[in-house]
Amino acid sequence: MKISDLAARTGVPASTLRFYETEGLVPADRAENGYRVYGEAAVDRLAFITQAKHLDLPLPAVRELVTAWESEPCHSVRAKYRPMLLERAAQVDERIVALKALRSTLATAVERLDALPDRDDPCDAGCASLERPHADLPVVSVPSATITCSLDGADHDARTADWRDLLDGAPRVDVTGGVRVTLATAALERAAALASAEQGCCGFYAFRLDLRGATFDLTMTAPPEARAMLDDLLPAHETETAPR
């Protein structure tokens, strides 16, 4: 099969198939004209990879499972699969706690926005009624071995572009483990949606929202080994050191 044939049969985009080849997940042979060609085994391999990806397993874990699936007996694959799923389930439980806290913060923000007077004048200090002290959102702890993003190729590039577009030109300062960015309250819903989506593929990030009247602070942190990945989400911009 050509790459287009395999994509049509499996529903996996050609861009993802090329990415899987570079990652050693789905190798391809080359025809005399240089085109990629695949055998029937690639269909079964992709079905297995797709199942593992639907369970939100990181690429290193998927790669380990694929190797075991092709070369080891079923009971050995099961022995490798089970602890991976249990570990991922525990991480999801932690993520649920963090998202519930974020959801509560957003609900309070909406209530306070709705309580503001409906007027045509510009915002003033009265809008500071949005602000309230609140505890840090729980930090999702993930073992360093799972510091990886489960998004592939084009999806990863699109998510990165969304973050850079949101944060472009926004004041930000370095904080311990990450950055704090100040945005207009109008961007609150978009920031929350991106933070929630990011937790779905990169649960090692932690996000916190602090309402400041007409603005809010978005604090983004990550473990030291994932700091380069966090910096990749940020547009080119000079940062300051946080005073607090």
Strand blocks (E) in the chain: 29-30, 36-37, 172-175, 178-184, 206-212, 215-221, 240-241
What amino acid is encoded at 198 in this protein?
A: E
Tell me if 24 sits within 8 A of 63, measured CB to CB: yes
> What tokens appear for 226 in the block?
């994932």
Cα atoms found within 13 Å of the Cα of residue 98, Cβ hemisphere only:
25
Regions of the chain with pLDDT less than 50: 129, 132-145, 238-244
pLDDT value, residue 65: 85
Helix (H, G, I), strand (E, B) or coil at 205: coil
Rounded to the nearest 5°, which phi and psi values hold at 172?
-150, 155
Q: Cα torsion for 172, 174, 176, 180, to the nearest 10°?
A: 0
Note the residue count of the chain.
Answer: 244
Q: What is the pLDDT of residue 133?
A: 46
Reported as a single tens digit per residue, the pLDDT across 115-174 is 777 777 776 655 554 554 444 444 444 444 355 565 556 677 788 888 988 898 899 999
Half-sphere exposure at residue 198, Cβ-oriented, CA atoms within 13 angstroms? 25
State residue 137's pLDDT score. 45
pLDDT given for residue 150 in this prediction: 58
For residues 59 and 150, the answer to whether their CB atoms sit within 8 Å is yes
Dist CA 159 CA 195 (whole Å):
11
Question: What pLDDT is recorded for position 244?
Answer: 41
pLDDT at res. 182: 93
The domains found in the chain, sorted by start residue, are 3-80 (1.10.1660.10), 92-241 (no CATH)
Distance linking the first and last C-alpha atoms of the chain: 59
Residue in 59, 16, 24 with CA at minimum distance from that of residue 157: 16
